[in-house]
């Protein structure tokens, strides 16, 4: 967290060496869809892994529902 607030945020505001890039929404959707498929494979391996994956999925649901700047939608 210190890097974000003390490093990246400062570079975004005052620096000239940080170049911001963005991933097009359609391309990012492909990444997220692939992640869900991967998570499903991992979740099938054990009950513990399934619990962890459910936390990831719930987090993504909340972030995407919250919208910008938290999620892509």
- The pLDDT tens digits for 19-70 are 778 889 899 889 989 999 999 999 999 999 999 999 999 998 998 899 877 7
pLDDT value at position 21? 82
Q: Which residues fall within 8 angstroms of residue 49, CB to CB, at 6 or more apart?
A: 42, 43
Going by the DSSP 8-state scheme, the letter that residue 8 receives in this structure is: I
| Residue of 71 and 48 predicted with greater confidence | 48
Contact 42, 51 (CB under 8 A): no
The pLDDT assigned to 69 comes to 72
Residue 55's pLDDT is 97
Q: Would the pLDDT of 5 be above 80?
A: no
Whether the model clears a pTM of 0.85, i.e. scores above it, the answer is no
Size of the chain, expressed as the number of residues it contains: 73
The tokens of 55 are what?
Answer: 């936390």
Domain residue extents for the chain: 21-73
């Amino acid at each position: 967290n210190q890097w974000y607030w003390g490093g990246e945020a400062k570079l975004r505001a005052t620096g000239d060496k940080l170049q911001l890039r963005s991933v097009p929404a359609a391309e990012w959707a492909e990444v997220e869809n692939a992640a869900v498929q991967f998570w499903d494979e991992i979740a099938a391996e054990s009950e513990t892994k399934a619990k962890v994956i459910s936390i990831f999925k719930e987090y993504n649901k909340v972030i995407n529902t919250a919208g910008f700047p938290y999620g892509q939608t």
